[in-house]
A and B are shown apart, each in its own frame.
Chain A
Amino acid sequence: MSTLTNGSTTANLSDDLQWVDEFAWNPVAQKTGRTITGAFWVDAQPVTAGRAVTLQGDDNTGWASRADVVALHALAATTGPLTLTLRGAAHSVVFDHEAGAAIEARAVVGYADVAAGDFYILTVRLRTL
Chain B
Amino acid sequence: MPSPADTRFYPGEILDDSPGGGGAPRSWPLVSGVMNNLFSGVSIPADTENGSLSIRKVYFGRVAGASEFVTASAYVDNADVGTRAVMFQHGGTETPRGAAADALVTAGQFIPKPGDPDMTTILTNTLGRVIVVTGDTVTLAVGDLLRFFGPTGAHGVACVTAIVGTGVNTAGVATTTLDFTPLIGTSGVALRTDTLCVRCEPAPEDPVYYQNRRIPQPAFALGWKFVLDQPSASEIRVVDVFGLPLPGYTQIDPPPVGSPRNALPEWGGHVPVFRRGGRVLLRNGTNSEQATVLDIRWSNTLGHRLVLSHNLQHSYGDGGTIHSLSRISAGDDLVAPEAFWVARSINRTPIVTPQFHGSVTIGMTNLDGVATCELPWDNSGMPGGQGAAPPPPSGDTVYPLLSPDGTIPAQASYYHTHTLAVTLEATGAALPVESVSLSMEDGSVCWSLTASGRPALYDIFAESTTPQLVRVEIDSIDWLFLVESASRTRSGPADRSVTITGRSAAMVSGEPYALPSQWGNDGRVTARAVCENAQSGTAIEWHVLDWHIPDKVLTFAGSALALVQRVSEAIGAAVICDRASNTIFVVPRYPRMPADWAATTPNVVIAEEAIRSDSFVRADKPNYTSVWVSGQQQGVLGQVYLAGTDGSAQAPLVTDLLITDSVAVLQRGRSVLGGSGPQARITMTLPVMTGAGRPGVLSPGQLVQVGTWRGVVRSVAVNATLPTVEQTIGVERHFPYP
Check if B418 sits within 8 Å of A42, measured CB to CB: no
With known contacts A29-B723, A31-B723, A31-B724, A43–B418 Cβ distance under 8 A: yes
19 contacting pairs across A/B (C-beta < 8 A): A30-B723, A35-B414, A35-B609, A35-B610, A36-B608, A36-B611, A37-B608, A37-B609, A39-B411, A40-B413, A41-B413, A41-B414, A42-B413, A42-B415, A43-B416, A43-B418, A43-B687, A43-B725, A44-B417
Given contacts A36-B608, A44-B415, 9 further A-B contacts (CB under 8 A): A29-B722, A36-B611, A36-B612, A36-B614, A39-B414, A42-B416, A44-B723, A45-B722, A45-B723
A33, CB-defined interface residue at 8 Å:
yes
Q: Is B613 an interface residue (CB 8 A)?
A: yes
B412: interface (CB < 8 Å)? yes
**Set of chain A residues within 8 Å of B612, measured between Cβ atoms:** 33, 35-36, 41
How far apart are B462's CB and chain A's nearest CB, in angstroms? 23
**Once bound together, how far apart are the Cα atoms of A30 and B418, in whole Å?**
11
Quick one: which of B411, B614, B722, B724 has the most chain A CB within 10 A? B724
Distance of A46 from chain B, by nearest CB (Å): 7
Separation of A30 and B410 alpha carbons in the complex (Å)? 22
Chain B residues with Cβ below 8 Å from A30 are 723
B400 CB → nearest A CB, Å: 30
Which residues of A have CB within 8 Å of B418? 43, 45
Cα-based distance from A46 to B416 in the complex (angstroms) = 11
Q: Which of the residues B412, B613, B614 comes within 8 Å of A39, measured between beta carbons?
A: B412
Interface size class of chain B, counting residues whose CB lies under 8 Å from the partner chain: 20 to 34
Across the interface, which residues of B come within 8 angstroms of A40, CB to CB?
412-414
A36 to B411 Cα, complex, angstroms: 13
- CB neighbors of B among A13-52 (8 A): 28-31, 33, 35-37, 39-46
A45, B412: Cβ atoms under 8 Å? no
Find chain A residues with CB under 8 A from B722 CB.
29, 45
CB proximity to A under 8 Å, residues B587-609: 608-609
Interface residues of B in 417-447 (CB under 8 A from A): 417-418
Q: Which residues of B contact A29 (CB under 8 A)?
A: 722-723
A31–B551 CA distance with the chains assembled, in angstroms: 61
- In Å, the complex CA distance between A31 and B723 comes to 7
- A43, B614: Cβ atoms under 8 Å? no
Kindly state the separation between the CA atoms of A79 and B723 in the bound complex, as whole angstroms.
Answer: 29
Bound complex: CA A33 to CA B415 (Å): 11
Chain A residues close to B by CB (< 8 Å): 28-31, 33, 35-37, 39-46
A19 and B413 alpha carbons, distance in the complex (Å): 37
Q: How far is the CA of A85 from the CA of B603 in the complex (A)?
A: 58
Q: Which residues on A sit within 8 Å (CB–CB) of B411?
A: 39
Which of A31, A36, A39, A46 is within 8 Å of B413, CB to CB?
A39
Known contacts A29-B722, A30-B723, A42 near B414 by CB under 8 Å:
yes
Q: How far is the CA of A129 from the CA of B397 in the complex (A)?
A: 54
CA distance A46 to B723 in the complex (A): 8
> Is A44 within 8 A of B416, CB to CB?
yes
Measured between beta carbons, the chain A residues less than 8 angstroms from B614 are 36
Complex CA gap A39/B417 in Å reads 17
- Shortest CB–CB separation between residue A34 and chain B, in angstroms? 8
Closest 5 pairs between A and B when the two form their complex, measured CB to CB:
A45-B723, A40-B413, A41-B414, A43-B724, A43-B723
| A-contact bits for B128-168, CB 8 A (1 contact / 0 none) | 00000000000000000000000000000000000000000
Residues of B within 8 A of A44 (CB): 415-417, 723
Q: How far is the CA of A35 from the CA of B416 in the complex (A)?
A: 14
Which residues of chain B come closer than 8 Å to A43, judged between CB atoms? 416-418, 687, 723-725
A40 to B415, CA, bound (A): 8
A28, A36, A41, A45: the one contacting B687 at CB < 8 Å is: A41
Chain B residues with CB under 8 A of A31:
723-724
A35 and B611 within 8 A (CB): yes
Q: Is the CB of B613 within 8 A of A36?
A: yes
Please, how many angstroms separate the alpha-carbon atoms of A45 and B612 in the complex?
19
| Pair A45/B609 contact, Cβ less than 8 Å | no
Query: A33 to chain B: which residues have CB within 8 Å?
Result: 612
The CA of A9 and the CA of B415, in the complex, are separated in Å by 47
Kindly list chain A residues whose C-beta atoms are within 8 Å of the C-beta of B723: 28-31, 43-45
Bound-complex Cα distance A41 to B411 (A): 10
| Cα-based distance from A28 to B413 in the complex (angstroms) | 18
Against A, the Cβ 8 Å flags (1 = close, 0 = not) of B707-738 are 00000000000000011110000000000000
A37 CA to B411 CA in the complex, in Å? 10
- In the complex, what's the smallest C-beta–C-beta distance from A32 to chain B, in angstroms? 9
Chain A residues whose CB sits within 8 angstroms of the CB of B414 once the complex forms: 35, 39-42
Structural contact, B412 and A46, CB atoms closer than 8 A: no
Q: Which residues of the other chain, A, contact B416 by a CB distance below 8 angstroms? A: 41-44
Residue of B whose beta carbon sits closest to that of A40: B413
For the complex, give the distance between the alpha carbons of A46 and B418 in Å: 9
Least Cβ–Cβ distance between B613 and chain A, in angstroms: 7
Smallest Cβ distance from B67 to chain A, in angstroms?
Answer: 46
Separation of A41 and B416 alpha carbons in the complex (Å): 8
B323 → chain A, closest Cβ, in Å?
58
Select from chain B the residue with minimum beta-carbon distance to A34: B612
In the complex, the chain B residue whose C-beta lies closest to that of A28 is B723
Q: Would you give the shortest CB distance from A28 to chain B, in whole angstroms?
A: 8
Residues of A contacting B608 with CB < 8 Å?
36-37
* CB under 8 Å from chain A, chain B span 516-539: none
Chain A residue, CB-CB nearest to B722: A45
Cα distance A35–B613 in the bound complex, in angstroms = 7
Q: How far is the CA of A35 from the CA of B418 in the complex (A)?
A: 18
Q: Write out the residue numbers on chain A whose beta carbons fall within 8 Å of the beta carbon of B609.
A: 35, 37, 39
Set of chain A residues within 8 Å of B410, measured between Cβ atoms: 39
**Complex Cα distance A12/B411, Å?**
55
Q: Distance (Å) between the CB of B480 and the closest chain A CB?
A: 24
How far is the CB of A15 from the nearest CB of chain B, in Å?
Answer: 33
Complex CA gap A44/B723 in Å reads 5
CA distance A35 to B411 in the complex (A): 11
Q: Complex: how many Å from CA A52 to CA B256? A: 112
Please give the distance in Å from A117's CB to the nearest CB on chain B: 36
Q: How far is the CB of B399 from chain A (nearest CB, A)?
A: 32
Q: How far is the CB of A72 from chain B (nearest CB, A)?
A: 22
Contacts of B415 in A (CB 8 A): 41-42, 44
Which residues of B are found within 8 Å of A36, using beta-carbon distances? 608, 611-614
Per the bound structure, the CA–CA distance linking A35 and B413 in Å amounts to 9
Shortest distance between the CB of B254 and any CB in chain A (Å): 78
B728 to chain A, nearest CB (A): 14
CB distance from B610 to the nearest CB of A (A): 6
Which chain A residues lie closer than 8 Å to B611 at the CB level?
Answer: 35-37
